[in-house]
Structure 1
Amino acid sequence: MATLANHTVTLLPGDGIGEEITKSVQEIFKAEAVPITWETISISGLDDVSSHQAVKEAVASLKKNKIGLKGIWFTPSSIAGHGSLNVALRKELDIYASLSHIKNIPGIKTRIDGIDMVLIRENTEAEYSGLEHQSVPGVVESLKIVTKYKSERIAKFAFDYAKKHNRKKITAIHKANIMKLADGLFRQTVRDVANDYEGIEVSDMIVDNASMQAVSKPQQFDVLVTPNLYGSILSNIGAGLVGGPGLIPGANFGREHAVFEPGCRHVGLSLKGKHIANPTAMILSATMMLKHIGLDEHADRISKATYKVISDGKVRTHDIGGNSTTEEFTAEILRKLDSY
């Protein structure tokens, strides 16, 4: 393998199982001599006092390095808790496009086969903007702001992705029958952008129908482009279809920065320290990162070994029907890599 230039990558392990599954990636990269230097910044969403200050450190690191590998930070549900650190990071760096690849993996028995869809969601506006307030006691106003600029930007990202990866169909997900102005703008903007991309079919679907279609005939979907909340819901439906959140890789892109993290954003607090978490989603997200920076050969070897471990079925974590630890699963990937 040719000697390649070293890359410095910001590593944000996250909460819950984040430290365990990012450690798997680090071990694999070290064994494979991947030319990566990690700049690790440990931040926890469980820390109400210093977490937002710590996000500033992550932002500074990513502004410098441009590339990050990230676990998921905990977001409290209580009113007294802080806002989402995950959203704060994406908004601060304008990391506007989230991508999750939902695909059947050989060796994982599922009820439905032939699933291979890419879900692209807008990351920075609509319901996840956090623009809400209590106007009077007992009355809360939550603002859903949709702009043509950001709708057009995510639509162009989706069509560019489809063109680059030979995808033939884009489905815009919306609720324009009820939210005629906000979701109507999103729906129409996607259709307008489609005029600049010959050879790619465009359609749209109401989100509740899309949810039903996803669990009855998911093979009809190729690339889905969605506002923020709908994409979050559909990514979790997709994860359930193909074997769980531990198998879904993902990435987030902005104009200058790219942050790679599991595509189904589960913290896994209840699994922390039990050494049973499935690192596949993080490992495959890391291989997406390697391809993004031009380290395709390393990416292909690591993803091939990971899929081989799963297809062999001898070493499996609890979520996919086994009783192996995170460390045992990682060690088996390393053994597969040694055999190539």
Structure 2
Amino acid sequence: MKNVVLIPGDGIGPEITNSVTTILEKAGADVNWVRAKAGLTAHEELGTPLPDETIEAIEEHRIALKGPLTTPVGAGFRSVNVALRQKFNLYSNIRPAHTLPSIESPFRDVDLVLFRENTQGLYIGKEQWIEEGENKKHSEAIAVVTEEASRKIITAAFEYAKQHERKKVTLVHKANILKLTTGLFLEVGRKVAKEYPEIEFEDLIVDNMAMQMVMRPRQFDVVVTTNLFGDILSDLASGLVGGLGVTGAANIGDDAAMFEAVHGSAPDIVGKNLANPLALLFSSLMMLEHIDQKAVAENIRKAIYKTLVEKKVYCTPDIGGEGTTSTFTQAVCDNI
């Protein structure tokens, strides 16, 4: 049995976590949950958004499944998500975007996987104020891109393409303007691509990429990019298939992994039995595949798809149904 650290999170987190653990138990997943706290709830209860006990649990077990966390905007504590990714060097953020049955979208047959470098770029948080005199403010932010980190994420994207029989990797950059940082990323990408001659390689400037994704998303297969661009484009990719509520996410390093729902904590619907657990559920399937329980993951995926076809009765209102968290959970369990 595999020990997995379970962080329910804030807001609707405990509700969707309960749904996911119920479904995985029904499917026979060989998982032992080690419960831990993080986020605003932990901050209010324990005085810190990331308790030492939670870090120690992840250090011991190396796998975590995490619900949504609340991060204050502009002030307050720093993002726990970023802190965990940097603490455990979870350099590879993986965000699949697949067209789902009965989920409304103007796009069909979207099937792309976005790899985002997860530890560098502007998200290292190196910012400072520069004094310019009275009544003047000047702020600066520093972006860091290294050859080593670039090679790791780009290689991860190519390895994924190879293992999943994907045909193309698209590298996204802004090397026409940011010549040293994303220029280095592009340079490394071209070198890595030569090691995988069987996989088509292309590079696109980020603004063109954004346009192409909303015009012809089916042309993309595996996409790899830097931290900031990946943050933006992965949400855009989710929007192509129905939003953040229907897409999973993984953060994987060399010796640890965290799987999470990247949508918000939705405090307005807490306790109303209306929370959609699909994002965390798809993240949990990525987790099951990571720990070599692929058959269980595929069984659950088939049950989800069957439930979505019957969504009017069972699914939550945000994806066009008239059901609740409970009816969706029960329907998936019945379809397993």
Q: Deviations over 1:268-303 (max 9, x none)?
A: 333332321211111121112112112222212111
Q: Distance in 2 between matches of 1:211 and 1:126?
A: 19
Q: Distance in 2 between matches of 1:122 and 1:269?
A: 30
SS of 1:305's equivalent in the other structure is: helix
Equivalent position of 2:29 in the other structure: 34
Q: Distance in 2 between matches of 1:180 and 1:297?
A: 45
5 Å-filtered alignment, 1:87-126, equals: 87-126=82-121
Which AA in structure 2 matches 1:97?
A: S
Residue 135 (structure 1) aligned with residue 130 (structure 2): yes
Equivalent position of 2:274 in the other structure: 276
Matched length: 329
SS of 2:11's equivalent in the other structure is: coil
5 Å-filtered alignment, 1:1-340, equals: 6-45=1-40, 47=43, 50-54=47-51, 56-79=52-75, 81-136=76-131, 138-262=137-261, 264-313=262-311, 314-337=313-336
SS of 2:6's equivalent in the other structure is: strand
Shift in alpha-carbon separation, 1:186–1:271, aligned structure 2, 3 A: farther
Residue segments in structure 1 that go unaligned for 5+ positions in a row? 1-5
Shift in alpha-carbon separation, 1:112–1:155, aligned structure 2, 3 A: same
Shift in alpha-carbon separation, 1:32–1:114, aligned structure 2, 3 A: closer
RMSD of aligned residue pairs (Cα, Å)? 1.6
Shift in alpha-carbon separation, 1:290–1:325, aligned structure 2, 3 A: same
Q: Deviations over 1:63-102 (max 9, x none)?
A: 11111111122221123x1111110011011111000110
Shift in alpha-carbon separation, 1:270–1:176, aligned structure 2, 3 A: farther
Q: Distance in 1 between matches of 2:72 and 2:198?
A: 44
Normalising by the residue count of structure 2, what TM-score does the alignment of the two structures yield? 0.94
Q: Distance in 2 between matches of 1:142 and 1:271?
A: 36
Which AA in structure 1 matches 2:27?
A: E
**Of 290-299 and 162-171, the range deviating more from structure 2:** 290-299
Mapped contact 1:9–1:39 kept (Cα < 8 A): yes
Shift in alpha-carbon separation, 1:233–1:269, aligned structure 2, 3 A: farther
Q: Distance in 2 between matches of 1:99 and 1:282?
A: 14
Mapped contact 1:104–1:113 kept (Cα < 8 A): yes
Residue segments in structure 2 that go unaligned for 5+ positions in a row? none
Identity value in percent: 40
Q: Deviations over 1:90-136 (max 9, x none)?
A: 10111110001101012223211120000000010101111111122
CA drift of 1:30 comes to 2.5
Q: Deviations over 1:253-278 (max 9, x none)?
A: 0010111113x443333333232121
SS of 1:129's equivalent in the other structure is: strand
Shift in alpha-carbon separation, 1:228–1:25, aligned structure 2, 3 A: same
